[in-house]
Amino acid sequence: MKARHQRILLIAAGLCALALIAALVLYALSDNLSAFYTPTEVRAGKAPQNRIFRIGGLVETGSVKRQPDGAGIRFTVTDGAQALTVHYNGIILPDLFREGRGAVAQGKLENGIFVATEVLAKHDENYMPPEVAQALEKSHREGTNDPDARTRVPPRPSQP
């Protein structure tokens, strides 16, 4: 075996070892690497207790309500399986915050309600002109086959 081949083998072995280490570390940290918890995870008790964390999901259509006394905004965040009521004490929401779209809220669970101090909008990976979006929306409403169901993407389930 030439020295050159030995070096190539050494490099390949080193890279394999590194990949293995990285995979194990990432696997061990996977709970901490998510930017938010889904309502299902919160209900399953995976979210931290008495500590600030983030939840994310789709804002349920028709659920956004400004509190009458100006004491914030309430809406429901859902991941399709479970839903969670969020109470946001601020007034200003990001431009992209919409019903039926993704949102991420930071705060704490208090008596089953998620009290948020910050609300962020999550946008999806679809880009299209407004006319196309309207046409899609229309065909969706009329109950025809939605040619692009991806316009309403549920948040990805977190993987272990």
Q: Site residues (CB under 8 A) for another protein?
A: 4, 7-8, 11, 14-15, 18-19, 22, 26, 30, 33-38, 54, 56, 93-98, 101, 104, 118-134, 148, 150, 153, 155-156, 158-159
**Rounded distance, CA 69 to CA 31, Å?**
38
Task: Give the residue with the Cβ less far from another protein, 37 or 114.
Answer: 37
Minimum CB separation of residue 141 from another protein in Å reads 15
Alpha-carbon radius of gyration of the chain: 22
Minimum CB separation of residue 22 from another protein in Å reads 4
Task: Give the residue with the Cβ less far from another protein, 51 or 69.
Answer: 51
Task: Return the closest-CA partner of residue 153 out of 58, 42, 34.
Answer: 58
Q: Which residues contact 106 (CB under 8 A, 6 or more apart)?
A: 52, 53, 54, 116, 117, 118, 119, 120
Minimum CB separation of residue 38 from another protein in Å reads 7
